[in-house]
């Protein structure tokens, strides 16, 4: 299998990345090499093997449904690239 | 000899007897950084003013006869992917070049409670992605043993700072070997605890099912002290294990008689530098002389670990790094046409090539049509790799091998070849996938460069790992070797 420039563009779009033509070329080559290497996993028969997503049994941490004080708005917005009226500002979502 | 060469117990004695003050320790650290860091590049941010204030307060507390914390007065450095309130945290990325966190990571709170003094934040591969510390967006870190060589990654700054005597200890994070491999390259002690033992709250996530914080120190006893201070359950981290924390220091008995050690043949096979292999075999003789027994074992799925790791870690990274969108913090592109344009350009301007490469790989592996072929397959192979360890630990108390296949390589040598770079982690990655604890300790040199011995334990059996590492250290003294850094 070989990754085409078109596929690189598609994946970049999914990943919300903008790539230059040179980057597309470079990533196509490197991803091909890495995925070709990853194909060695197909040497193993994994029929019936449970996937491990996590080594520990995980349980969601739930808290009591009680109102608690939160951080002050000015602290939350401290690193905001742009803010207005105590809110993060972004370009209009609806035209 | 530097005061930072003293063991913690001795340092505390001197503080108690007023032969030394915390202020002096902090000044020593600041001076050493100022004298050496233009060559090494371990630090990204310094907390001089805060550290001096903290030192004054601790000295006053000692004079007033107050209680001393476990790490009282000890100057520490923290990897720059662990958030520190008010102290810039960039993850080695341009994306977070202006980011001042509004809270402390759980481990930082614990270090404060243990009364250590934070000197600054340590350089790293961007978002912890890399094995050489050449992927920092700011500047590479250089190995104190040879400035033309890499310190290892991604906690290269954390390992180099300890090796260069800039701080007493540091915290690093390990996803595929990022504490152990730089510790091996820099001739220091790096401990990746069992996954879940140390809270990940406040660690900027790279691959959530693998990331783990751990100490980098000059000797095993100090590693036990720091681990004692940072281990423990945290309700703010869903992956934090609720287990009882033993007294790690009491494990340091020096007695390894009857300990059963398995040595994976796959860790001493092809691709392992002959001198590295020789140092490991010599180390096994030391264990033998102390009454431990060892024999060869097979971890048959080792050769699949690197491919498994890069698919899983990149997939998790592509998901975790979706939060860097230019909305709430970090880089924001100028004059975006719309919201998607804002995301796309902010991310493209903020992330470096290795981060983009892994996001692309992870997005591809998780995308429609490829999920089963890559992601699910890798998770199944992860099960097989974990089973290798489970089976080996039915027979053995510990598994021992090299930490890295070679000593530190030269800067720039592998930078254009990601696959070769990834293969440097062949001995550390399987351990990360299985989630078991492992320490890297110095076991001699090869052509004047440090070689690391990796001691791997059963889940949550940090005590046996520390016991064996400490016994080896006290028999050999390799941990006392220092780079000839002026």
pLDDT tens track for B365-377: 999 889 999 999 9
- Among chain B residues, the shortest Cα distance to A38 is held by B307
- Among chain B residues, the shortest Cα distance to A51 is held by B380
Q: What pLDDT score does A57 carry?
A: 82
Q: What pLDDT score does B486 carry?
A: 63
Q: What pLDDT score does B161 carry?
A: 98
Q: What pLDDT score does B485 carry?
A: 84
The band of A1, judged by pLDDT with boundaries at 50, 70 and 90, is: low
Retrieve residue B447's tokens.
């052509």
CA distance B178 to B186: 12
Q: What pLDDT score does A59 carry?
A: 75
CA distance B209 to B412: 30
Interface probe for B, chosen from A26, A58, A81, A94 (most Cβ of B below 10 Å), is A81
Q: What pLDDT score does B421 carry?
A: 73
Question: Catalytic annotation on B178?
Answer: yes
CB B263 within 8 A of CB B297: yes
Q: Do A41 and B381 touch (CB under 8 A)?
A: yes
* Spatial CA neighbour of B178 closest among B483, B441, B452, B429: B429
Neighbours of A10 (CB within 10 A): 15
Residue among B29, B132, B136, B154 flagged as catalytic: B154
Q: In the predicted model, is pLDDT for residue B400 greater than 90?
A: yes
Q: What pLDDT score does B462 carry?
A: 98
pLDDT tens track for B139-183: 999 999 999 999 999 999 999 999 999 999 999 999 999 999 999
pLDDT tens track for B52-90: 999 999 999 999 998 899 999 999 999 999 999 999 999
Pick the CATH number of A5-43 from 1.10.3720.10, 3.30.360.10, 1.10.20.60, 3.30.428.10: 1.10.20.60
Torsion of Cα atoms, B439 then B440 then B442 then B448, to 10°: 180
Q: Do B360 and A15 touch (CB under 8 A)?
A: yes
- Among chain B residues, the shortest Cα distance to A48 is held by B380
Question: Catalytic annotation on B21?
Answer: no
pLDDT tens track for B126-146: 999 999 999 999 999 999 999
Residue among B21, B29, B79, B192 flagged as catalytic: B79
Q: Give B236's Cβ-side CA count (13 Å radius).
A: 10
Q: Do B367 and A14 touch (CB under 8 A)?
A: yes
Retrieve residue B190's tokens.
């790096």
pLDDT tens track for B182-233: 999 999 999 999 999 999 999 999 999 999 999 999 999 999 999 999 999 9
pLDDT tens track for B237-277: 999 999 999 999 999 999 999 999 999 999 998 889 999 99
Smallest Cα distance from A88 to chain B, Å: 7
Size of interface A-B (CB pairs under 8 A): 158
Q: Do B329 and A55 touch (CB under 8 A)?
A: no
Question: Catalytic annotation on B154?
Answer: yes
Q: What pLDDT score does A61 carry?
A: 76
Q: What pLDDT score does B40 carry?
A: 98
Average pLDDT of chain B is 96
Which of A7, A18, A71 is the closest to B345 by Cβ? A18
Which of B239, B332, B347 is the closest to A58 by Cβ? B239
Which of B102, B237, B306 is the closest to A78 by Cβ? B102
Interface pTM (ipTM) of the complex? 0.94
- Among chain A residues, the shortest Cα distance to B318 is held by A15
The pTM score is 0.97
Q: Do A31 and B357 touch (CB under 8 A)?
A: yes
Q: Into which CATH architecture does domain B3-259+397-480 fall?
A: Alpha-Beta Complex (3.90)
Interface probe for A, chosen from B317, B360, B434 (most Cβ of A below 10 Å), is B360
CB-CB neighbors (< 8 A) of B308 in chain A = 41
Rg (CA), chain A: 23
Q: How far is CA B482 from the centre of its chain?
A: 19
Smallest Cα distance from B376 to chain A, Å: 7
Average pLDDT over residues B445-471: 98
Q: In the predicted model, is pLDDT for residue A58 greater than 90?
A: no
* Spatial CA neighbour of B214 closest among B2, B403, B437: B437
Q: Do B379 and A51 touch (CB under 8 A)?
A: yes
Q: What pLDDT score does B66 carry?
A: 82
A88 sits in which H/E element? strand A87-88
pLDDT tens track for A10-38: 999 999 999 999 999 999 999 999 999 99
Average pLDDT over residues A51-60: 86
- Among chain B residues, the shortest Cα distance to A13 is held by B344
Q: In the predicted model, is pLDDT for residue A63 greater than 90?
A: no
CB-CB neighbors (< 8 A) of B332 in chain A = 81-82
């Amino acid at each position: 299998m070989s990754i085409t420039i078109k596929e690189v563009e598609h994946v970049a779009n999914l990943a919300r990345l903008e790539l230059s033509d040179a980057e597309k070329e470079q990533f196509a080559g490197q991803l091909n090499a890495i995925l070709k290497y990853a194909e060695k996993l197909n040497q193993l028969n994994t029929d019936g093997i449970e996937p491990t997503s996590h080594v520990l049994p995980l349980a969601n941490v739930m808290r009591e449904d009680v109102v608690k004080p939160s951080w002050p708005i000015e602290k939350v917005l401290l690193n905001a690239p742009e803010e207005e009226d105590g809110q993060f500002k972004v370009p209009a979502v609806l035209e | 000899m530097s005061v930072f060469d003293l063991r913690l117990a001795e340092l505390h004695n001197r503080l108690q007897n007023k032969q030394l003050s915390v202020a002096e320790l902090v000044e020593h650290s600041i001076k050493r950084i100022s004298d050496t860091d233009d060559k090494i590049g371990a630090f990204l941010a310094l907390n001089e003013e805060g550290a001096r204030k903290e030192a004054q307060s601790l000295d006053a507390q000692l004079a007033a006869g107050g209680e001393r914390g476990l790490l009282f007065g000890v100057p520490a450095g923290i990897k720059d992917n662990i958030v520190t309130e008010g102290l810039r945290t960039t993850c080695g990325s341009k994306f977070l070049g202006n980011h001042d966190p509004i809270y402390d990571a759980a481990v930082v709170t614990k270090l404060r409670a243990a009364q250590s003094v934070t000197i600054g934040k340590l350089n790293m591969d961007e978002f912890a992605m890399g094995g050489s510390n050449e992927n920092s967006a700011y500047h590479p870190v250089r190995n104190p043993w040879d400035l033309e060589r890499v310190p290892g990654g991604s906690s290269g700054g954390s390992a180099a700072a300890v090796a260069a005597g800039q701080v007493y200890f540091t915290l690093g994070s390990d996803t595929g070997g990022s504490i152990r491999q730089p510790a091996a390259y820099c001739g220091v002690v790096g401990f990746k605890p069992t996954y879940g033992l140390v809270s990940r709250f406040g660690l900027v996530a790279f691959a959530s099912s693998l990331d783990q914080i751990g100490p980098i120190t000059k000797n095993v006893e100090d590693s036990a002290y720091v681990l004692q201070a940072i281990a423990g359950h945290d309700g703010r981290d869903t992956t934090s294990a609720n287990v009882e924390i033993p007294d790690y220091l009491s494990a340091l008995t020096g007695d390894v008689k009857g300990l059963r050690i398995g040595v994976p043949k796959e860790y001493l096979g092809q691709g392992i530098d002959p001198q590295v292999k020789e140092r490991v075999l010599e180390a096994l003789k030391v264990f033998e002389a102390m009454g431990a027994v060892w024999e060869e074992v097979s971890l048959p799925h080792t050769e699949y670990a690197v491919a498994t790791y890069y698919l899983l870690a990149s997939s998790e990274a592509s998901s975790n790094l979706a939060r860097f969108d230019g909305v709430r913090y970090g880089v924001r592109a100028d004059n975006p046409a719309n919201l998607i344009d804002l995301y796309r350009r902010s991310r493209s301007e903020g992330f470096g090539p290795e981060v983009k490469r892994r996001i692309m790989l992870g997005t591809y592996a998780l995308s429609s049509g490829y999920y089963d072929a890559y992601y699910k397959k890798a998770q199944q192979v992860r099960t097989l790799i974990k089973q290798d360890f489970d089976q080996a630990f039915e027979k053995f108390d510990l598994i021992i091998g090299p930490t890295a296949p070679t000593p530190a390589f030269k800067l720039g040598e592998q930078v254009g070849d990601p696959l070769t770079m990834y293969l440097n982690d062949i001995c550390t990655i399987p351990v990360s996938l299985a989630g078991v604890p492992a320490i890297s300790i110095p076991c001699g040199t090869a052509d004047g460069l440090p070689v690391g011995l990796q001691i791997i334990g059963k889940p949550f059996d940090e005590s046996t790992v520390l016991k064996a590492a400490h016994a080896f250290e006290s028999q050999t003294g390799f941990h006392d070797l220092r780079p000839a850094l002026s």
